[in-house]
Amino acid sequence: MSGRDNPYGAGAYGGQMTASANYGAAPAVQPAADSAIKDTTTAGFSKDVIEESRRQPVLVDFWAPWCGPCKQLTPVIEKVVNEAQGRVKLVKMNIDDHPSIPGQLGIQSIPAVIAFVDGRPVDGFMGAVPESQVRQFIDRIAGPAGADQAAEVESVLGEAETLLAEGNIQDAAQLYGAVLQADPENAKAAGGMMLCLIAMGETARASQMLASIPEDLAKDAAIQAVAKKLEQIEEARKLGDPLALEHDLALHPDNHEARMKLAKILNVQGQREEAAEHLLMIMRKDRSFDDDGARRQLLQFFDVWGPKDPATIAARRKLSSILFS
C-alpha cells in the first residue's frame, strides 16, 4: 500500500483533532430504581448475572466512584436500558468494593460493559461511548428495537472488518479510508487502517501513524489494541524459533515458559486459537506459574483481538469455565 494509494497512513491526523469529551466534574448518579437495573456483589454475581442471563441478556457495568467516564456513561446506559423495555437487564458492579470478578475477567480499564447470554460473556465495550453506540450494542445483543441512526457507518466498518479478517486487505483499507475521510476522529477506522498496514508487513508505517494520532484519540480502545499489537510483534521477534519451542514441548510438555513463548509467537502469526489453547493449558496445569501469568497474557490477547473476535469469545468461554467451575 503506497502513500499515493493510501492517503490515510502516517501523518494523516496532524492538527485535525481536538478533544471531544470533557470528563471533568460529572455529577454523581444514583442507581436507577427500575427493576431492569440493579447493583451486584461478588457473592451475588452468579445469581444476578450468570443465572439471570439464561433468561435474558444481562449487561454488566464495571465502574468505580472516582471514574469520570463512568459518571458520563451511567445516565446514558441506564436511559437506553430503561427504554429497551425489558429486552436486557443492567447489573452494576463497583470494582473498588468487589475487585475479584473484574480481576478474573481481565477488566483493566473502566467503564467496561460485558454482555452475558446463557451464562457466558459474549460481547463488550469499554469507555464512555455515545448513546447511539450503546443502542447499537444492545440491538446487537438483544435484537433491534427501532431504526439505527448510525447504520451506514457501522455497516461500512463491519464490512471492512470482515474483509480484513478474510485477508482482503486492500478493499478493507479503502473502506476504512472512506470512513476516515468523512470522520477523521473515528477511532475504529483509524485502528482498522493501522491493522491493514500491519497485515501488509508495514509495521513501521503503522507505528508512525500511531505516533501521529492525538493524545485524546489514542486513549480509545481500538487504538490501544493496535498499540498493544505492535508491542506484541516486537516482543515475539525476540522469543526464538517456534519450531524449536514445539520440539522442546514435545519432549517436555510441562515446560510452561516455552509454552508461553510459543503462544506469543503464534499470536502474532495470526494463529489465535492455538495461542489461546497453549495459555489455557498452562492454566489448567499450574495457575501459580508466573503468578497466574498465563491468564494475564490471555487477557492481553483479548485486548488486542477485541471482544467480538471469535477467538476472544471462544477463549473467554473456556476461561470462564476454568475460573467459575
Q: pLDDT tens across 24-52, in order? A: 222 233 333 347 899 999 999 999 999 99
Write out the DSSP string of 145-181: -S--TTHHHHHHHHHHHHHHHTT-HHHHHHHHHHHHH
Q: Domains for the chain: give ranges and CATH numbers.
A: 37-142 (3.40.30.10), 151-234 (1.25.40.10), 242-324 (1.25.40.10)
pTM above 0.85, yes or no: no
Confidence (pLDDT) at 154: 81
Of the residues 10, 60, 70, 221, which is catalytic? 70
Average per-residue pLDDT in the chain? 83
Three cell numbers written together for 130:
455515545
Q: State how far the Cα of 83 lies from the Cα of 61, in Å rounded to an integer.
A: 17
Is the pLDDT assigned to residue 92 strictly greater than 70? yes
Q: Please report which confidence band the pLDDT of residue 81 belongs to, taking 50, 70 and 90 as the band edges.
A: very high
Give which of 146, 112, 149, 142 is closest to 129, Cα–Cα: 112
Is the pLDDT assigned to residue 302 strictly greater than 70? yes
Confidence (pLDDT) at 27: 28
Q: Which residue has the higher pLDDT, 120 or 240?
A: 120
Strands 112-117 and 58-63: antiparallel
Confidence (pLDDT) at 153: 77
Three cell numbers written together for 2:
503506497
Confidence (pLDDT) at 315: 92
Q: Please report which confidence band the pLDDT of residue 23 belongs to, taking 50, 70 and 90 as the band edges.
A: very low
Alpha carbon 244 to its chain centroid, in Å, reads 32
Contact 220, 233 (CB under 8 A): no
Q: State how far the Cα of 325 lies from the Cα of 320, in Å rounded to an integer.
A: 8
Is the pLDDT assigned to residue 85 strictly greater than 60? yes
Contact 315, 271 (CB under 8 A): no
Mean pLDDT along residues 7-17: 34
Eight-class DSSP state of 45: H
How many beta carbons lie within 10 A of that of residue 149, not counting itself?
12
Q: State how far the Cα of 196 lies from the Cα of 205, in Å rounded to an integer.
A: 10
Of all residues in the chain, the percent with pLDDT exceeding 70 is 87
Percent helix, strand and coil across the chain, each rounded to 5? Answer: 55, 10, 35
Q: Which residue has the higher pLDDT, 303 or 63?
A: 63
Mean pLDDT along residues 122-137: 90
- The answer to whether residue 70 is catalytic is yes
Q: pLDDT tens across 159-185, in order? A: 998 999 888 999 999 999 988 887 888
Confidence (pLDDT) at 15: 30
Q: State how far the Cα of 42 lies from the Cα of 48, in Å rounded to an integer.
A: 10
Of the residues 49, 60, 67, 279, which is catalytic? 67
Residue 98 φ/ψ region, left for φ over 0, alpha for ψ in the -120 to 50 degree band, beta for the rest? beta
Is the pLDDT assigned to residue 3 strictly greater than 80? no
